[in-house]
Structure 1
Amino acid sequence: MRKIITGALLLVLTSVLSYAQSPGSRTSTPSKAEQEVLDLSKKKWDWMADKNADSLAILFDEKSVFVHMGGSWGKAQEVNIIKSGGIHYKKADIHSASVNIIDNTAILLNNITLLAVVGGNEVTNPFIVTEVYIRENKRWKLGSLSFTKINTPGSPR
């Protein structure tokens, strides 16, 4: 009887631990499509740091939405904010990134520390950033970018 109970407990514990793993804890090599999205996200952070509004305007879908600590808006306002320097995304230190692809939609989670200039003030904040990409005509377009402030960089997801 003791062996049966011990075996059952081990089975339950193993199931719970495997279910509780976060998407970012996966150790397998990303698929080609997942790697494309991870690389594109990295380029996006570089373009934001360089205030490369023209490249970002091509990447952002016409119906894209952006959620920040101070509000939410669409593509035109985000591009104008970057172009004008209203928000300067100086440097995104990416601590981890994971991507899940569902049909033609990729959901990417970045755990970052963002150094930015907002309203003339330099600020550093830890965020989980959710990026949603849609694949159309063999190209990925950014559909949504949302910042969720967390307490510390590297916090578990």
Structure 2
Amino acid sequence: MADERIRPPWWLKYVNKVMIGLNKLGVGGDKGPVVLTVTGRKTGKPRTTPVTPMTVDGRRYIVAGLPRGDWAANARAAGEATINQGRRAQRVRMVEIPADEARPLLRQFPILVPTGVGFMKNAGLVTGPNPDEFEALAGRCAVFRLDPV
């Protein structure tokens, strides 16, 4: 499949705003979504989006839910971001993982981040929580390791 730009669903902007608001209130605890803030590559302004990190071998990773997503392009350009979980903020280095190294991480995604499966299924990227289908997204959906700064 080509690396076409998949348009996000119309409702995503509104759901993201609600999730960002809930995160600021501390809803979700330590296991749920966090708010990623990264400098926009075109505007230079802070851009925020909720993401759900997964931990593998003691390291945190995030997976872009869509190929060529704006937040991933911004993270790639900026190299650093801030992760907010409630009132806690942490500066992180955004290290993009090459496709070959991302494959085993993507296989774990449907197990570690089951809430992301439905989103990717609705986008037409997978048919369900099949690790083989997620592994096949390597090189299409960016995977970043979050290293503390």
Output the TM-score relative to the length of structure 1: 0.28
**Rg larger in 1 or in 2?**
1
Output the TM-score relative to the length of structure 2: 0.29
Q: Which has the higher contact order (CA 8 A, sep 6+)?
A: 2
More strand by share: 1
